[in-house]
Amino acid sequence: MLPEVFRQEIVSACGEVFDFKSMANGWPEEPMEHGYAVAGMDGLKEYIGDPDEVCEFIGDAEILVNHLAPLSASMFERLPLLKMVAVSRGGPVNIDMQAARKHDVLVVNTPGRNASAVAEFTIGAILAETRRIRVGHESLRNREWRGDLYRADLTGRELHEMTVGVVGYGQVGTRLVKMLRAFGTKILVNDPYVQLDPEDIAAGVRQVSFEEVLRDSDVLTLQARVTDETKHMINADSLAAMRKDAVLINTARGPLVDYPALIHALKTGAIAAAMLETFDIEPVPHDSELLSLPNVTLTPHIAGASVYTVTKAARMAANEVCRYLNQQPPLNPC
């Protein structure tokens, strides 16, 4: 999310009515901080930027359009003129929302900004594992021609003959289900807080319990948010309940998975393979066993990264700024 993209979209939506100043940080080349690990930042999940530098930059601004810069409780105390924050993320995880309410600061976000990108990426992740794309690639990189991958006991399976379980039926999950339907896949959905779209029901998509989706899925893909309820939902017990030939896909959030338990399951054959896009620790430590396991495909948390994601998020944030300027209610208040 480049500051200039925000500026372009705000000018396009609202006109030249603002004095702008911009600040960039080192993400994504530099890793994010986690609020639980830094004194005074415990109301935040992840962010990047020095609090003093961010406060100095914001100064007497009334509106902040922001992607990853932190706003902690102590920072709000230092920013009495700040009245509106637009966060270009699906959730305001870099903002202390309790402090924002206390200081009467409106916070809006951009839900679904990268939902299509993540859903598309998840299709690619499933195919990379189930059709042995990653295995074939790695063998050729090692100058090895894996003709044995034609064998019926080693080759991949097609999506139309498999059952895919989708955990989480939100912005990403609903898009993913519609994409999977095009493959003729049997689809199971686990999400206790929503009802299935009638179109999905008519197409044969079933809503099932967590126990059923673990038991019956050839591929299990995680699209849930991290809450106290969902943290480590994939653990030793849930992995033991899955099929031994099952594939786990995590393109959602690292804390959904107990990674030591997953590593054990992959090493012992409790499940067949995994495709992991998010991790419990990011960047992944150099000594992590995940980096050497033969039955894992890994990517560095890039599922939501696309040109469309950037422009859509900036456009959504700009629209919220214009609504604030015109004293209209926000579309996506946090």
Per-residue pLDDT 10s for the chain (334 aa) are: 788 899 999 999 999 888 899 998 888 778 788 776 788 888 888 899 999 999 999 999 999 999 999 999 999 999 999 999 999 988 898 999 999 999 999 999 999 999 999 999 999 999 999 999 999 999 999 999 999 998 988 889 999 999 999 999 999 999 999 999 999 999 999 999 999 999 999 999 999 999 999 999 999 999 999 899 999 999 999 999 999 999 999 999 999 999 999 999 999 999 999 999 999 888 899 999 999 999 999 999 999 999 899 999 999 999 999 999 999 999 999 9
Q: What is the DSSP letter of 248?
A: E
E strands, 191-267, in order: 206-207, 219-222, 247-250
Q: Between vectors from CA 32 to CA 84 and to CA 103, what angle results, nearest 5°? A: 25
Do 147 and 278 belong to one domain?
yes
Judge whether 205 lies within some domain: yes
Q: Sheet containing 296-298: give its strands across.
A: 206-207, 186-190, 163-167, 219-222, 247-250, 273-276, 296-298
Tell whether omega for the bond before 283 is within 30 degrees of 0, i.e. cis.
Answer: yes
Judge whether 25 lies within some domain: yes
pLDDT for 97 equals: 95
Do 193 and 283 belong to one domain?
yes
Among the listed residues 163, 266, 262, 263, the one whose alpha carbon sits nearest the alpha carbon of residue 221: 163
**Tally of domains in the chain:** 2
Judge whether 334 lies within some domain: no
Do 208 and 282 belong to one domain?
yes
Q: What is the DSSP letter of 82?
A: -
Q: Which of 67, 301, 315, 320 is catalytic?
A: 301
Judge whether 22 lies within some domain: yes
Q: Which of 67, 89, 134, 253 is catalytic?
A: 253
Judge whether 275 lies within some domain: yes
Do 84 and 128 belong to one domain?
no
Q: Which domain does 144 fall in, by range? A: 115-298
Do 180 and 206 belong to one domain?
yes
Do 100 and 209 belong to one domain?
no
Judge whether 330 lies within some domain: no
Number of H-type helices and E-type strands within the chain: 12, 10
67: annotated active-site residue: no
137: annotated active-site residue: no
Q: Which of 46, 120, 212, 282 is catalytic?
A: 282
Judge whether 128 lies within some domain: yes
Distance of CA 289 to the CA centre of its chain: 23
Do 57 and 195 belong to one domain?
no
253: annotated active-site residue: yes
Do 92 and 226 belong to one domain?
no
Helix (H) or strand (E) holding 115: helix 115-130
CATH number of residue 12's parent domain:
3.40.50.720
Do 13 and 83 belong to one domain?
yes
Judge whether 332 lies within some domain: no
Residue 300 and residue 201: Cα distance in Å, rounded? 34
Do 145 and 293 belong to one domain?
yes
* pTM for the full predicted model: 0.87
Do 108 and 171 belong to one domain?
no
Among the listed residues 306, 307, 289, 309, the one whose alpha carbon sits nearest the alpha carbon of residue 298: 289
Do 102 and 120 belong to one domain?
no
